[in-house]
Every structure is written in structure tokens, then in C-alpha cells.
Structure 1
Amino acid sequence: MDDRIGNIISSLEARGLQPGAASKADLAHIDATIATLKDEAFSGDAEEISCDKLLERVSNIELDAEDSEGMQALRKVEDILHCRKFLSIAEKREIEGQEPREFTAYTDEELAELKHISDVRLRIETAYTFAEKGRASIQRHLEEIPITKEEISHRDETGNTPLYIFARDSNIEAVKALLEKGADVNKASENNATPLDVAAEQGRMDVVEVLIRNGAITTKKTLNILKPKISKELLFILEDTSLFSQTRLIPRLLNYLRLRNPELWTKEDESEKNKITGLCHGLTTLYCYYQFLDEENVFFERIRIALSTDSDMSRSLAETRYDDLSEDEKELEQLCNDILYLQAPLTKGGQSTPAKELSFLSDKTEIKTLSSQLHFAATFPGDTETGEFEGLVTILITILLADAKKQKFLFLSTGDHAVGIFYKNNECFFYDSNTTYFSPAFDITPPYQEQGIRWLVKNLAFTTFDQQDRITLGINIIAQEDLSEIKAKAKELYSVTNIDFKEDDNGFTPLWIAANKGDIDSVKFFLDEYPAAVNKRAKGGATPLWIAAQNGHIKVVNALLDAGATVDEVSDDGCTPLYIAAQKGNIDVVKSLLDAGATIDKPGKSGATPLYIAAENGHIAVVKALIKNSVEKGIDINKPNKKGVTPLYIAAQNGHIAVVKALIENFVEKGNDINKSDKKGKTPLYIAAQEGNIDVVKTLLDAGSTIDKPEKSGATPLYIAAQNGHIEVVEALLDADAIVDQVADNGRTPFYAAAQNGHVDVIEALLKKGATIDQANEEGVTPFFIAVLNNHIDVVKVLLGKGANVNGKLKDGSTFLWASAAIGNIASVKVLLEAGATVDMAREDGTTPLFIAAQNDHIDVVRALIKASIEKAIDINKPIKNGITPLYAAAKNGHVDVVEALLEAGAKPDQADDNGVTPLYIAAQNGRAKAVRALLDNGAEFDRAADNSVTPLAIAAVNGHVEVIEVLFAHGKPNINDPQRGGFTLLAIAAQNGRAKAVRALLAKGADIEQATDDGATPLYIAAQSGHIATVEALVTAGAKIDQLNKKGFPPLYAAAYGKHEKVVKALLEAGATVDQANEEGFTPFFIAVINNHIDVVKVLLEKGANVNGKLKDGSTFLWAFAARGSIANVEVLLEAGATVDMAMEDGTTPLYIAAQNGHIDVVRALIKKSIEKGIDINTPNKNGITPLAIASNNGHTATVEALLDADAMVDQANEDGLTPLLVAVLNNHIAVVRALIIAKADVNKASVDGYTPLAVALKNGHTEVAEALRAAGAKE
């Protein structure tokens, strides 16, 4: 296995070096080999391999990004190696008995390897194979596999999902695991076959059963295959789900709705469950609707179309008009609209209304409005064991058998769950929105009515109602015909025993529903039977009076008022019945409410009053009634909402001229301010001008509105009218002497706004009134230039005819032509050139329009400017201040079309910048191979160096641009081994910068792999020094000498160790580098790694046998040298690595001695500790008989002395002259050391060979304090 996979990796490495060299046959061979290797791995016949080494080789392969086939082969190689590594790790754990055979969980190491397998199928097969080999539970193995939802549903290159493949291969355990993890049971392959289809085709009934029980649906063809082979139970499930699958349809509808209106269908306050429930309810109603029409087949056909529509739509649909949708999208849109339209009978008490606020752009539906004939709520006690709810049975019998010849809906709802029942011709169909199929009909033909209804109730009790002992249901009866018999039996319903009637979960009482419909007879009935409900608020806070007022049911309103309804009861949004009636324009209701004492100016939550809302909607009769009532009561008729918007303002905005006049007429009398603005400073005149409401504008001007009052940004009514092109308004304002050139805060005038938006007629009107033609905004943009930018040619012509400046400059100093060229606006450039703009007028930095267009790759603009330059004899080689030409800028950025256009027009290919950098050089530096080729084809010097003596070829090598190197070699014959500065060849340059691909390419062209720099560094040394592992490996593979020294005697391994390049150190050692090769000073790679505290590198070198006791040129060991310097970190590393603690120099000084001599206390302590561990005598003297304690005492290193004494150093050990530690400390007047030695019981009277005692020495040298200390310790002279 090792050789085969190694050969594959070698083949892929070659493919990376020479893109396109490998054939499809090579890839086919790779696929076949990998398949064999996989089979061997799973069978247990695979050879042992070094997966880590092979994976490291794979990670260094650099394939062309466009080589998709090669990349795919590379992934397969990685996957099989991770698979093999996982099996090896797991098998080793099994063998070593690290845990019981009963599976608990994968180890972190095992999980990591599984996650590395990118092919989901191989990942599952790998875990499955291991499970089969004895680890107890296959299911537990598969449950623990790391796999994401995206991976579960991902199709491989053959178009198949993992679930499809395992169903096809009859791997039932894998099928179960994927379904447990959320796999889509019905996701088809690219040939439209589902997992169930392929399992049926393979005859695996165990897999078929699992798929069916998990919601699989099927085609007629597969159903026919399975009918004789599966149980009746499974066939029943399959036949039902084959007609309709909520599991598939609801996600499809949700997906479309999110694409159509992301804002509304991702609201945080609407849970996913509520959205799904609403769709289910609407689907229920739609199904029943088609039952009404005897067109059930139409319903199912629409479902089938929706399910066949592509579910992976990803394009944005939010701004797409209905007419621009695809036919599939139109089908989905119409189905969504119908479902959303019809969800209301289940959620809003049976009143169906357009669902535009929940839907999107269109409102297309042919579904007729459905409304309730009767709605009430009740609580029914029941028996949980038998499922009998006698009260509900009684209710259903009464409802279903009355008006028996009329079709009707019956909806039973509890919480967010609803059941739809459709009655027709003594048959009932019911649909539970929480299930995935439609129930068959049940017969209630006499004499089976009660039996059939009891069967239905019992079914509901054990499924929908979850065996509760009490259920509260909203009961809503809907029909197209009047249900007179059922209404007549209303009293009978209310007299049923053991039933508690109340509002449903949405708060809808029977009275509320009747008021909503305007059913005055039912309202009167319910007021008599249930008077307490008169002020009962439904969900949303609406009372019966409120809903009747909204719908304009005047008789109901009067009846409710007579029954004591609270006239000012507000809904949850703060709106009173008067407010909603005013909003809807229900004048009769408004009058009745006013007569009943409704508060006239009670605002809603937005601060809008009833008068405001009536004015907004243009209900003039309501407005007049409210004005009259307000004036009589002294109430402000222009009261603003919370945004400061007044009734006059909103009426002016919406163009309700009659309302405006009615308000203004009363302003004079009440003293209101006609110019009262909103919080943004906009007056009624301003907003009317903005909307182009000319009649309103004239009315307001006649009434004395301030004509030039600006809003907060400084825009006046004239400005906004000019901006929006309302010519009649503009003329009216000009005739009223509006200021023509009044400037807004952004520096823009009305003339500018008109030019920006292309309103020629407004431009001409303003010019007649003396508008300033070239007045610029804050950025220097004039009306002329903004018209040019927006391609308003008619405006441009008018302005040019009036003398507009074509060469104007913006705030940053760029001309109009320059700015247009910079953004690539070819239309503007052409207009400006045609108008006579100066072609080469530059900015302060010297950049011309041609330069900026070339730099930004605007080829059409470049061509236009070249043509204009040639016509006007302008030099296209004109550089900017640093000598850079347009050709240079285009070459730098790789804009090959621009480069070719400039060269064709005569641009100089070798014109250099101030640093001698040519277009060719800069293109080579940036890897612009196509630009390089174009320049060379047009005569550029391929080896012309810049002022820094670097050639284009060298700079390409620096940056590793292989393709550029290839192009340059194809156009010349450079000496590949010619040295550059410092003796660096192209190969050395590429190696220094870690350009492995370039290194391989240069070697393939004959680069000398051993040619060294002036410092004697070979390419391998340079790459190792810089830590470029891929480059090092490329050079080693190509045969570079591993131990070649530089002039200082250092090999590549030393350079890598010095730079802490652990991977490079490993690679060189594996390639045979000498581990302890030293320079003249004795520095080895190990020593330099220790010096720099590169612990990881130290460990690697030690593993390869590095000598920890090596010696430097002066004979000192590594440990001695670091001890002398006091380098505690290095000392600790060496001690840890096993350095000999007491290996001495020729003069007998040990590491401990030299550390003590220099007072390196941390090193002393470390050496003492290690000496004690090794049983080494810490009193070993040098050749002069001086011990570490003596030398420390001599030099006054008190802490060192104390450390040695604590370790039981011999306190009185003397040298050959009889000098003890105490004598030398006294001699040198080290009082602290003397005291430490005295405390350690040093002999204070021990004399030297010459007969001098410590006290005699102290007195002789005048060390008074020392003498006193000695006397105190009993010393004698």
C-alpha cells in the first residue's frame, strides 16, 4: 500500500510542478488505485503505512486552482490516508484494552481523524467498518459520527446524497443513523430517484420499511413495485403520503416565502412553529375549498406542481415583479397567496382577508372570501380511557345534521392546533393540520350519523387532543349559503348539558363574530343570551363594538351601544371605535359614536387622532363631522401625531384637496399655524411640493404658507419639487417669488437637483428665473457634471448651450473628465470629450484621465482617451510626478487589454519610473504573466534591471511567480546561474523567499542547486535559514547537499536550528544531515538551539542523538559555558537533556565552580540540586585546590555561599596554602560572607600555612568590622 499511495502522491506532485502534464488516464488510474486501497483498508488486508509522513507530503502539493480533477484526486488521497489512520488508531486502542469493548464514545484523536475525511460516505463507511470488527453497537458508532446538516444533504459528484447511496447499498444501520441526524428522506438524486425508489428497486424491504416510517413518499411506479411486497399497514401509510406530504410541502413554501420577502419571514417575534401552523391552517381551508367546488383533483395537482418545482432556488426574489417571475415561481406564488389568504378562518374567527402583509408583491387569488355563519367556544369534559366527549358529540350532531343539504366547513381549534371538517352529501372529510396526510371520508348517512360522529370524536380524542380529560375548542362554522336551520338551533346548542360556553383561544365570542359579520339578528340573540360579552375583548384588544365600527355595521353598532358597550374601549394598539370608524370612512358609525359621547381626540399609540386618520385617508364627510364637533368643544383640529405630523400635513401629502380646504377654513377661526412642520422640519407646503400635489400647493400659497421655509437639511419646497420634476409646482412656486438659488445644507441648489434627475423642463424654468448655471455643491460637483454622470443628455445640451464649464474641478482637484474616467463612466467621458473637455488636464499629483483609467482597467474609457489624445497630438507616455506612465500603471495591475491598447497606440514599453522600474519589471513583480507577455511581444527588454540592479526575472523569482518566469525564459535566453547582488542566483532568491514552485521551475531549467552566495550560503542553506519547509523539501528531493557549509562553517541544519524552524530541522535530519557538525568555535546546531532557548528544536536534535556534552574551542562544555554566563534557562535545558554535571575544564574548574565564581545563584542552585541527585561531590576543587565555596567566599557572593553551605559544603576545606573559605573572605573584607561562614561553624582560629589566623589577617588589613565579628565568635590572634 505504501508504494502505491507514494506513487500517487509523486504523480500529483509532478502535476503541481507541470500543470496539465497529467492525462485523464492518470487520474483514472489514481481513482482505481484508491478504490482498491479503500477495499483493503476495510477488509483488514492493508499494509502498515506512515500516514503522517504521507499526509505531510500531500499538504505540500500545490496544484493549479483551476485543476479541479487534480484537486479532487488530491482530496481522495487525503481521505483514504485519514481513513487508514483512524482505523489504525482505533484498532490500537482496541488491542491495548484502553476501554471496555462496549462502545461509549470516540476519543478526541479518533474524532479528529473522522472529521478530516471530507467524503461523508467514506466517513460513515469507515466508522461502520470499525463497528463491524467487534466494537459492540454499530448504531452507537454511527450516532457519534461527526457530520453536519449540510454534509447530510450534500450531493456527491455522481449527484447522490449519502442517504440515497446507503439505501441503494442496503446499509440499513447507516440509513437509520442518517435519518436520526435529520437527513431529508425524500431528497432525490440528479436522476430524480429518491432513497425509497432505489431501495424498492434493490428489493430491500427492511430499508423500505424504515424509509416509509420516516415519511418517505413515492411515485406511482415505485408504489406498484411495493404493493405485493409490503404489509397492509405500510401500504396504507404509503398510499396516503403519496398524495400529499406536509413534510415536503411546508418547507418548500417557507423557503419560497423567505426568498420573496426576507424581512417579514425572518421576524424574530414570529416563531417558526407559528409560521408553519399558519401555512397548515391555510392548506386545510384550501383543501376544503376545492371540496366545495368538487375539484379535489385541482388541489392535488397544484400540490404536485409545487413539489416538483426546484427547491434550491437561491437567487434574490425580494425585488422581482410578479410578471418577471418564472412559471414555476408564479405557481408557487399563487399557491402561497391562496394559503396565506385562507389561513384566516382558523386564526381570525373565520374572516378571510387578503394576506398582503404576510405575503409579498402580488395579491393574486381567485379564492372567494369565506365568512362564518356561527362561531363560539366551549369546554367539554371527557373520559380519557374511552375517548368519549358526549357534549362534543351532541354539538357535532346538531351542527352537521342541520342544513343537511348545504355544504359547510367546520373548524375545531385548540391553541395553535386546528382540525378542519368538511361536510357534503352526508359525508365528512377531516384533516388534522399536524399530520402529514388526509383522512378518508367517514359516512354519516342515516342511520349511521351518531356512529360516524362518535368515531370522529374518539379519533380526535386519542390523537389531536392527546387524551385530555377536558378540552376547550373554538368552533367555527363557515358556508357560502345561509345556514338558517343551524342558527335556529343556536338556543338548543346553548342548552346542551355539561358544556361550558366561552370565548375561544383568540378571545372570539359568538357575539364578536356576529358583530364582525354584521349579522344583526345573531347580535341581538347573543346580547340576550350572553350580555356579559358586550365588552369582551378578542385577541388584539378589539371589542364587538370596535370590530363592528371597523366594518361599518351601523345597526350592530347602535345595538351594542344600546346594550351598554363602552364607547371608548381601545384595542391593543390604542385605537378607539371612533378612530377605526374614522379610518375606514364609516360616517354613519362616526356620527353614532359621537352622539354616544366618544372622545373626539383620543389618539392611538402613534399619537394620531380620529381626525388625523380621517384626513390621511381623505374621508371628507368624516373630517367635516369631526371638525364641527371639535370646534364646538374647543379642541385643536391640527393636533400632530408623535412624529409631529398634523392632519393638514398628512392631507397635503396625500393630495386630499377637499380635506386641506376644510382644515384651512377653520384655521383662520382657530388661529392655527399653517406652516406647522413635522419633526424633520417639513411644512405642509413642502410635503405637497414633494408629492407634486399642485392644487394643494396653490391652496396653501393662497392661504399664506411661507414659500422658502426649509426642512432640517436645508431643502426648500422649490428644491424638492425641482428634484422630483414636478414642473407645475415649480412654476407655481417661482411665480410666487421662491428664491431660485437657495442652497441646501449639502451645497445643492434646486437647479442642481433638477439637473441630477434629468428634468429638462424644470431646468429651463429655473434658467428663465436666473438660476446660477455652474453653482457647485460642497464636493465641487456642478449641475452640468451631475447631469453628465447620470447621462441626462438633454440636460447636458441645454447647459452647454448656456455656457456651462466643461473643465470644472471637484474639491479634490480632479476635473470632471478625470473623475468620470476614474469610475469608468464611458458615457460621461464621451459626453465630456464631445463637449471639448481638455484630455490631459492633470491633478496635482500629475495623474491624467488616461492614467487613472488605465490604472483602474476601464478599457472603453482608455480607448476613447487614446483616440482623443491622438487627434489632439497629446503624448500618451506622459508620466505622473514619480515617472510612472499609464502603461506602467496598467502593467502593474495586470490589465492586459489596457496594456495592449496603449502599446498599439505607441506607448513606450521600456519607459521607466524614477527608480528605473519599467512596465515589464513591475508586471513581473506582481505576477502579471499576460501583461509580461504582451510587453515582451511589443519589444520590451526582458533583462533590463532597475536602479537596484534587480532584473524582471529576478523580481519574479523573489515573488515566486512561476508563470512569469516561464514567459521570460520563453522570450530570451538568460544565464540562469548569473549572480545578482550578494552573489544570489535566481534559485537562491526564490529559496530565500520560500517560493517552492519557482524553485522547482528553476531547477527544471538547469539552475545550479549548489551555487553559493558571496557568504557561501547555498540555496538549501538560505531556505533552511528562512524556515521555508516546502522549499527545503523541494531542494532536498532535487539532491542538494545536506551538510554544505557556508563561509563561517555553518551547515543548513545549524541555520534551521538557529531560526527555530522545527519542521525544517526534522526534514534535514530525516534527509541525513549530520546532527553534531560544528564550526571552528565548536558551535553545533544543538548548542545554538540551546542558546536561543528553542526547546522544540532541542528535543528534535536530542532524539536524533545530538551530543549534550559537546565542547567549544576553548575546551569548555556546553554546560560549563552556560554556567559561566549565568544562563539558567539554558542550563536547565542541558541538565534536563542529561549533560554531565561535573565535567571540568583542563584547569579543573567545573560548571558549579565557574557559576559560584561568578555569583550566578540560580545556576548554582540548579547545579547543586542535580549534583545531589547524581551523588556528585560539590566540594571538588580545581587544580589549585580551590573549592566552589572558597571561590564564592573570595568573590563575596553571599547568596552563593549560603546555598553551598545549605548543601553541606565543607566549610573549612583549605587549598595547598592553607587558605580556608573564611580566610579568603576575611582577606577581602566580605563581612556578610564572614558572618555566614561563622554561622556555619567555620573554625575561626584555623591559620594558613604561613601561620596567619583569620583575626590576624583582619587586623593586619584594618578590617575592623570583620575583626569584631571574629572576636565575637571566639577568634584569637
Structure 2
Amino acid sequence: MDNSQLDKAICDLNINDVKRILESGNYSFNVYEQRTDKRWPPIISCVYTETGAVGRDDTKRCEILKLLVQYGANVNHQLSVFKVGNHNYRYTDSTPAMFAAEGGYLTCLQFLVKSGADLTLTSSRGDTALMYAAKHGQIDCLKYLTQHMPASLLNSRNDDGQTALIVAVSNSVKDNTDCLQHLVELGADLNVQEKDGFTALMLALKNCHKQCVTLLLEKEVDINTVSRYRETSLILALEKNLTEAAIQLLEKGADVNGVSRGGASPLILALRNGDTETVTLLLEKGADVNTVSHIRETPLMLALSKGLIETVVLLLQKGADVNTLSNENETPLMFALRNEYTDIVTLLLDKGANVNTMSSFGLTPLMFALTRKRIKIVALLLEKGAYVNARDFNDETPLTIAIQNDLTDAVKLLLEKGANVNELSHFGLTPLMLAVARKRIKIVALLLEKGANVNTGTHHGETPLMKALKNDYIEAVTLLLENGANVNAVTPFLGETPLLMALEKRHTESVALLLEKGADINHVTPTGNTPLMKALQRGAEGAVKLLLEKGADVNRVSLEGKTPIMVARERNLTEAVTLLLEKGADGNASPNKGETPRQPALKAVTSLLEKGADVNTVRQFGETPLMLAVKRGDTEAVVLLLEQGTDVNVLSGFGETPLMFAAESGDTKTVALLLDKGADVNAMSRDRETPLMFALKRKHTKTMALLLQYGAYVNVESDNRKTPLILALEIDFAEAVTLLLDNGAYVNAVTPFLRETPLFLALKKKYTEGVALMLEKGAIVNTIFYERETPLSLALKAKYTEGVALLLEKGADFNAFSPHYYATTLLGSAIKEKYPEALKLMLERETNINRVAHFDNTPLIVALKRKNTEAVRLLLEKGADVNTRSYNGETPLTVALEHGSSEAVPLLLEKGADVNIMSQRGWTPLMVALEHGSSEAVPLLLEKGADVNIMSLRGWTPLTLALIRRRTEAVPLLLEKGADVNSASREGCKLLVLG
């Protein structure tokens, strides 16, 4: 039947139309007979509150109610149906009295009660009409209901464990102080907890209802109740920055050392708010000054971050730990240095702050001080023993930071304390090179005075003198030359010299200085270029004149077949042409780009040499006869060329030397010949690869050993910043790994971007011997890689048991957080991954088996949630607490029942799990078993003495739950154990009848 006309009349509050329709009989009070989308009885329509219609037209609604009741409407009707979408329906079982209380229709409510409305009825969630009134702040309706309902309803609970008092303060928008006050005056239980463990006071604080908070604090309320999230009233007050409430709570004796699920104590929360008044009071009340949050904040760190100097002093007086590490491995001293609190730094040092702790990025307190340019603090740290040669992960040392910041006084202090003046960075930069590059002339002079090597070059062979010339830094050029800079140093690839660089920049003054110091005027690059050619190419006629005066070769032919006079003519340098001709230049020379007839045929080497062939002649790609002989493996030709004095360090067009070709081929005899003739064992190719790397890539172990004997650098880096050790690991060359480590390879070298170390690569490859060897050689076991991966987390992820064992033996931290699971320790991740071998190894070293492994869950609870029975057995054998609670109040037994870990239930019961412990909802393990259909567990729990008549917050017993959930097999068992059939709720009894 269509009730649309009656609904419209009721919504329009048209009493006459309602009466007419009722008299016509064209309506239905039965929702199942209705055909509209909104299937609810007219009596509900009458008191249903539309938006903005609260409390309006109460009298008219009451008149309509009277008509409806007169025509047979049920004042206790509970079923209404709403159509949602095309085929779905939503049901509600709120009574007319509930809707009237919610809408504030007092007159309607009074009529309903007089007409027999049952105020003890509850909705499917257990809500009463009183709760509806309390929730919506309908004080008049609430007062009326409390006068006419049974007294027991004042503290009755819904399914969420809420009473009317709790409902009144649960509204996050409205401050229902009037309703709260009335309920308090009537004697409502102020300390009752809802399912999440919150009391009325806690919810008032959570929703910032200040008047409600004040009212409740005037009463005898429990201020130290703890919620399932481990929050207390004090914690909630501080989380919402309610200072006044927090102070009141402290004065009433609130627990100052409670810790929330997020690991925040009241002291930490107060400091986050910058609330010094509350902080002082907390400290007076005995707050723990060394509490640490889950993100590893301490009160001291927070005070330093906020700039609360007086609070810092107070915390230190109270015994704050000055060496606790933050999430980034930073100490309070680093926080103080970052914020430039000089006095606090002194105070921290006096309290024993460690001056050599390294942050996650390798920064030390000394580096922080230098970055902030605090010279006095630098001096103070050095007096306290700060390590002057530390390196951060960007390869910076205190000395290089001081140079970059132009801190001459700091440089002097560091050098006096033993800073390595010739320390090489991974890029081959020395402090002197850096000072020259940054144009710090005072520092350059200071470094030279302290013994800086003036000729140490970068991996590209660039010396400080070259850097000064490239940067147009004539002051540094003069100073370096005065201190013995090599004017004839040559870069590996391009074969450039300082003179060529000066000519490139057209620095006539620099050219003159270099020539005075003996610069080679006839040096030839791999491309056949000479200083004279360079001067002509750059149009530096002044420099040309100087070179010619010094006797530069005027007829030298480049690889392109050009002579100096040809270049001068191309550039239209008339004066230079004249000078060249005066010096004997061949004015008739013409380009000749091809090879000479003497070079390519190595078979004729002997005859060519006898005829006076040039042993150092260069082909178009920079290859010399020696290189060709080495490449062809012609040892006799190599010997012959070496006897004739061929250049053993000449570079090909790709920056390769004869030794590199020999190393690549693994020809140890030729390698030895070249080395004995002075071949540079550490020469670098264009890609910054050394002979050692050439041999390594071809897996020539004997050649590598020979090169190392001759002093090959074992820690040199290629162009992509990979050391020989890293390269050996990447190509699975185990023999080379051992050889390199035995020769001092740096085990903590880090690749760029991914920040992988040799240990990381060995673990990745599951190379056990290499892992053991690197750990033995000092590999950092708890270092952090890209995306916060650690060696142990990597081994766990790969299920590499041998690696896990080795790492744990060396002290790997298995309580550090896993990068693969949020807020989970590595021990917890081993449980989640169902990796018993690793778990056993960790448990052998774990001193606190009940330590938190995931959020606030213990390892045992994590294992039960993952249905990891083997882990459960291991943990129980180690003495795990079977009655501990998780952050939401769950015990191991309830977790096992909820997550279907049926095999674990007997194990827990054997270890003494409490079968009658109640959750925050007021449910026992027996109730949980019935709720989740754990039929096998019910008999076990009953055998262990589970209480069959205990009631939940809603008033349900195990029998009630068995009937509602239709666990028919459990009903006889419960009855045998003495379950009270009269305690089952109305819903339960109804199901029994229906069943």
C-alpha cells in the first residue's frame, strides 16, 4: 500500500489531511505492506527530525501522534526500512520515543510515555531513549526521561559500552554540559569505561569540552584510567593543549609517567606544545626526564628544538641523559649546535656529552659546529677530544667543512689537533685542492705551511696548480709555484699540463711564471698538441712570443697533420707567422693525416728501430708501438721497445696506458716488465679505472696480486665511485674479495645514491665467506642503506640464515625498526615472515621477550595474529607473558581466538593463560570463541574453568552469545557447566525459540 499521501500530510504537519486520510482507511501501519522507498510507519514520520527542524512544531506533532495512536499506531514500533540504491535496504529499530528524544519533542515524548511507550527498549546497538537525548543535548527530554524510566537505565550500556553519561560527552561538536550535569546529579557512574577504555572525563578532554571537564574534575573521578590506546586523562589534555585542565589533573595526582600508544609521555607532549608551565609542574611531580617516544624523541631534544633554554637547564638538573640518540642518531649536543646555543653546549659537555657520536648521515658535533661557523665551540669540542679526521657520508671532514666555510682560525685549530692535511676524499680531492678551488688564499698558505703536498692530484690527475690556473687564481698560482708545484704534471686522459691550461685561459702572466719554473715547452698531448699549438689556437700571440723565445719546436706535426705555421695562418695571426718563419718554421708544410709507413707492422719492429724509427710515435687514436705490442702479447717486441727507452706511461686517446692493456690480458710477465721500467701502477683511464681494476674485471687474480705488490691503490674509486672491492663483489669474484681485504680494502665504502657497502653486496649475493671476512675486518653491522635498509633487514628479507647468524654475532640490532613493515622491529618482521631460523637466533640474544615488536604488540601477539604457530611455541618456551595486553586491550588468548590460531589455543592454556580475563569491551575468551565460531576452543576453555555466567558490558552472557550467533553445538556444553538460562537476553531467548 502507498503511504505517500499520509507521509506528505504528516511532513507538512497538516492535521486535517492526516485525519481525513486516517478516516478513509487508505494507509498501512505495517512496513512490509508499503511500496515506497521510505518504508516506515507514520508514527515514526511524525517524530523523525529533519535537518534544521529540531524541536519545531512540537505541539502540532503531538496532535498528529494522538490521531495515529487513536487509529492503532504502535508506540513501541521498532522496524523502519530505507531504500539505499536500486536493490539495497537499510534497517533501523529506533522507537518513536527515541526519535522524539533525539529531536527534542518533549510534548510528543510525554504523550508517548503516557500512551505506554517502553523506555527500556534498546536499538540494535543497545541505545536507549535516554542516550538519544543525551547525545543530542536535549536537556528537557533527558530530565523527563530520568523521571519516568527505571533507575537501572541511568547506567545501562550500549554495545560500545557507553552509558548516557558517556554519550553526552561523546559529541565532538556540541558541549552537552547541561545534560552531563543533570546525569551527574542523579548519581551516574563517573568512572565507567566504554569499549575503548575511555571514561566520560577522557572523552570530554578528547572533544575539548572544557565546561564538561571542569564539571567532572569537581567530582570524585578516576583521573588515571588508561584507555585501550594507553591514553590517560593527562595525556589527552596535553594532546589537545588544554593547559588549564592538565594543571588541574596534576594537582589531583595524575600519573606523570604514563605513555600513550604513540610512545608519548605527558612530559613529551607538554614540550611539543611548548608549555613550560606544565613542564615545570610535571618535573616537580617526578616525571621521567629520560622517557623516549616511538620516534626516539626525548624531553631534552624537544626542549632544545623549541629553544626552551630554561627548561633545558631544568632537565639537565633533573638528570636528563645527554647521549640519547634520536631517530636520525643525533644527540642533544647536535640539537644544541644546530640551534647555536653556545651556553647549552658548554653545559652539555660538562655533563659528559659524547663529542664523537655520528648521526645517520655521518655528521659529528664538530661538523655541526663548523657548519654553523661557531669557532669558540669548535675550540671547546677539540679540547674535549673531538675526532678531527671523521668523515660523513658525503665524504666531508671537519677540515674540508672549515675550508668551505672560509674558517681560517678553525683550519688552524684543526691542523694543530692533527687533522690530516693530505687526506684524500673519494673524489681524490685534498684540503689544498679544495682551498684553491674555493679561492681561500689564507687557508692555502696555512695548509702549505703545515706540510700539504703541493702536487697531489685528483683521480683525474688534476693538481692544485692546475685548479688555480683553471680558476684564474693568480695569487694561488704564485704561492703554489713558490712551494714547489710541479709545472710539468700531466693529466691522465687529455695529457694536459699547467702550461697548456694557462694557455687555454690566455694567462700570459701565468705562462711567464711557468716558463721561468721550467715548464716543458714541447710537451705533446695524446692528440699531438703542443703548448705552441695551444697558444696559436687561442690567439695568444704574447704567449707565442714567450714560447718561441724559450725554443718551442716550430715544426711539430699534430695528429691532424698540422704544424704551428698552418694553425697561425688559419687564425690569421700575421705577427705569429713572421715569428715562426724567423725561428725556422717550414713555410711549405702541408697537412698529412695518414699513418707513417713505420708504425703498424710490429713484425718489422727490429728493422725499423735499426733504421732509427721513433719508439714513441703515435697513431691517430693515440696508440704507440708499445701498446700494440702489449695488445698482441708480443713479449719480445715489448722487451725490445723498453730497451730502446719507449715511454711506459704514455696515454692512448682513451687515457689508457700499456700497463692497463697488459693487466686486462692477464699477462703477468709483461705486467712485471712494465712495472720494473717505471709504469705507473695507479694511472687512471678516462673512466678513472686503474690497472688493478682492468685485471679485476677480467678476473686475473695473479695479475692483481702482482699489482698490489707494486703499490696499487686498493681503495681507489672509478668514475661511478666504485672501489675494487665493490666491483669484485658485483662480478662474484670471491678470490679477489679475499685478496683485496687482505691488502687493506675499506670495508665501509659506500656507493652513491643507493648507499650500498661491500657488506650489503655480500649479503645480497649470499656470499657467506665474504660476509664473515668483512665483519672480521670491521664492517659496520648497523649501518643504514637506501630506504633505511640495514644489513640485518636485508638478510631477513632474503631469508639468508648464515648471514643473519653472522650479523647477530657481531651485535646487529634486531630491535631496530624494519623498513618493510610499518612500526615493526626486525624481530617482529621475522615472525611476520614466518622465518623460524632467524627468530631462534634472535631469541637466543633477547633479554626482554615481552619487548614491543609492532606498535604496542608483543612478539607473541604478532605471532598469533600471523597464525605463526612455530613462532608461538618458540616464544612460549622463552617465557613470553601469556596474559599481556596489546594496545587495544587484547590478550594472546583472545587474539588467537579472533584470528583463528586454533593450534595456539592449547599451547596458551598450558602456559596458564587467564580464561576469564575481560577485554575493553567486557568480553572473555569464551565469548570471543563463541563470536568467531571457534568450536574446538569452547570445550578447552570450559575445562580450564571459563565462567559461563559472566556478563559483557551490554549484559550478555556466553549463553546469550551462543544463542544469538546460533552456536547450537556450544549451548549444551554451557548448560552442563551451569549456564543460567534466565540471564540470557530477550534476543537470545527469541533465537532459542526460533531455532
| Normalised TM-score (structure 1) | 0.32
Larger Rg: 1 or 2?
A: 1
**Larger RCO (CA within 8 A; separation ≥ 6):** 2
Q: Which structure's residues are more often helix, by fraction?
A: 1
TM-score with structure 2 length normalisation? 0.40
